[in-house]
Amino acid sequence: MILSKNIAILGSTGSIGNSTLEVVRNNPMFFKVVCLTANRNVNDLARQVNEFKPNYVYIDSPELISDLKLKIHDTETKIIESKKDLCEILASPEIESVVSAMSGSSGLFLTNHALVNNKQVLLANKESMVMAGPIFKKFKHNIIPVDSEHNSVFQLIDRSVDFVSNIVLTASGGPFRELPISEFKNITKDMALKHPNWSMGEKITIDSATMMNKCLEIIEAFYLFDFEPEDIDVLIHPESIIHSIINFLDGSSICQFSEPNMQIPISYALAYPQRISSGRPSYDLAAKSLTFQKPDLKKFPSITFAYNALKNSANHCLILNAANEIAVDNFLQQKISFNNIFNIISDSFDLPDNEILDNIDDTVHADELYRAKINEIINKYYL
Ligand code: NDP
Ligand code: MG
């Protein structure tokens, strides 16, 4: 049986963070939560500390530390007061596995830090992989994907891609799969935040509505599994039961399925290479009909963006991620329309390549330069 594993959860108050803690709650004998982190949600973070009694807790907003102190005064949990101290603790032997569940580019620095310090990383934060693919690739042996499609591919082929002809990532198609393209101009923030199958954080919910989530996932799969871009396909599957399909050279295919609940891939990643209860039942295939269709690339240029970025360079993956993140932020603030998310990403593609991105400092620096340029484009043409 699994020995107890010491874990840190970066972004414990989010959707993935909470699902991870639910799996831990169901399997207290297998996991010790050593460190929890959040950005601003001091109430949920304190509640988690009071329940899971980690050795350490970190909140990325210094002004909230005194509030956190008050809320957890009954525990022996130490509050980490600086990012430098957090880095030391993440690198220490006290922690074996790090769940990377922060949202967007905020996850890049600490995910990289965990990897370079030889920690096993349970990777939900796909944006960091898109930004630093060439660097993270070197640590692939220590990454277990949590993203449901990639976790599914990982379950099906583990680390060997022998005899595979191509892989298929499924996509729900989001809330606007059936909406005519002529209606896209009327899409509001509230409409886009209603995902039909998954309950997730705001940024990834908008990414699902634009299908930029699948764009990021094609790039994530490229770096995780080493397939050529043309061997990574997307299939619309509105019920989100089958998470990936592997087609072998001999014409045989296998797939992995479960109900759409992140506790299942998270429990697999946490217990790998063993299995534990995720707290969810097996899926009953007789429950409903499963349907499939090709993606509509006219309505959703996002999928084409992924192949274009991969054909160009790692810089283009960085640009695409930054342009999407900034555009989504503007859309959530109701400053730009839904369609302009696509237009901003498309315009940003014309930015020139910078230096070769083979270390994290250059990647962060290039990301900052690109973001400044993308903001200029948005201010000039979209606000
Ligand atoms: P949420 O927005 O629900 O949660 C994000 C977490 O990160 C919160 O704990 C938040 O803290 C923390 N955080 C955000 N910004 C910062 C920051 N600057 N510094 C420190 N902590 C920060 O996101 P999700 O859980 O939905 O997604 C997390 C990641 O997992 C994303 O990359 C997403 O693409 C990926 N993913 C998510 C899936 C899902 O089903 N949700 C499925 C597959 C992948 P606070 O609460 O204090 O703001
Ligand atoms: Mg996914």
Q: Which protein residues touch ligand 1 with a CB less than 6 Å away?
A: 11-17, 38-41, 60, 101-103, 106, 124-127, 147, 198, 200-201, 204, 262
The residue whose CA is least distant from atom 32 of ligand 1 is 125
Task: Determine the atom of ligand 1 nearest the C-alpha atom of 42.
Answer: 47
The number of the ligand 1 atom at minimal distance from the alpha carbon of 213 is: 34
Q: How far does residue 278's CA lie from ligand 1's centre (Å)?
A: 20
Strands 242-248 and 143-145: unpaired
User: Do 54 and 34 fall within a single domain?
Assistant: yes
Statement: residue 3 has pLDDT above 80: no
163 shares its domain with 109 = no
pLDDT for position 161: 82
Domain that includes residue 362, residue range:
313-383
Percentage of the chain surpassing pLDDT 90?
93
Question: How many angstroms is it from 217 CA to the middle of ligand 2?
Answer: 7
Token pair belonging to 124: 């939900």
**3-state SS, residue 234:** strand
Tokens of 210: 């634009």
| Shared-domain flag, residues 133 and 165 | no
Q: Give the mean pLDDT of 36-47.
A: 98
**Tokens found for residue 290:** 């499963």
pTM: 0.97
Q: Is 100 in the same domain as 34? A: yes
Distance (Å) from CA 131 to ligand 1 centroid? 16
In whole angstroms, give the CA distance from residue 7 to residue 228: 33
Task: Give the tens place of pLDDT for each residue, 59-72.
Answer: 999 999 999 999 99
Q: How many domains does the chain have?
A: 3
Confidence of residue 1 (pLDDT cuts 50, 70, 90): low
The closest of 317, 136, 142, 117 to 218, measured between CA atoms, is: 317
Q: Pick from 36, 87, 103 the residue to mutate for probing ligand 1's pocket: most ligand atoms within 8 Å of its CB.
A: 103
Backbone angles phi, psi at 144, to 5 degrees: -115, 115
Claim to verify: residue 273 and residue 161 sit in the same structural domain: yes
Same domain, 104 and 161: no
CATH number at residue 56: 3.40.50.720
Domain end residue (candidates: 307, 334, 367)? 307
* Res. 2: pLDDT tops 70: no
Q: Looking at residues 151-165, what average pLDDT do you find?
A: 90
Distance 101 CA to ligand 1 centre (A): 5
- The pick from 151, 197, 200 for probing ligand 1's pocket by mutation, whose C-beta has the most ligand atoms within 8 angstroms, reads 200
Q: Could you tell me if 297 and 161 lie in one domain? A: yes
Of 112, 127, 145, the residue that ends a domain is 145
Q: What is the pLDDT of residues 74-121, one digit of tens each?
A: 999 999 999 999 999 999 999 999 999 999 999 999 999 999 999 999
The per-residue pLDDT for range 224-260, each reduced to its tens digit, is 999 999 999 999 999 999 999 999 999 999 999 999 9
Quick one: which of 368, 195, 306, 336 has its CA closest to 204? 195
Atom 39 in ligand 1: which residue has the minimum CA distance?
Answer: 200
Atom 42 in ligand 1: residue holding the nearest Cα: 147
Please check whether residues 91 and 169 belong to one and the same domain.
no
- How far is it, in rounded angstroms, from Cα 337 to Cα 189? 9
Ligand positioned closest to the Cα atom of 125: 1
Kindly state the average pLDDT of the residues 257-282: 97
In the reported structure, the alpha carbon of residue 355 is separated from the centroid of ligand 1 by a whole-number distance in angstroms of 29
pLDDT of 356 strictly over 80: no
Domain boundary among 93, 126, 145: 145
102 & 77 share domain = yes
The pLDDT of residue 186 is: 97
Mean pLDDT of the chain: 96
CA of 292 to the centre of ligand 2 (A): 17
DSSP character at residue 283? P
CA of 16 to the centre of ligand 1 (A): 7
| Residue ranges in the chain assigned as alpha helix (H) | 15-26, 42-52, 65-71, 83-91, 108-116, 126-131, 133-136, 148-157, 189-192, 202-210, 212-225, 263-271, 302-312, 314-332, 338-348, 360-381
Rounded mean pLDDT, 289-295 = 97
Residue nearest to atom 16 of ligand 1 (CA): 39
Domain match, 122 and 78 both: yes
Q: Are residues 356 and 294 in the same domain?
A: no
Q: Which ligand neighbours the alpha carbon of 197 most closely? A: 1
- pLDDT value, residue 9: 99
pLDDT reported for residue 106: 97
Domain at 347, CATH number: 1.10.1740.10
Q: Are residues 59 and 156 in the same domain?
A: no
Section 305-331 average pLDDT: 96
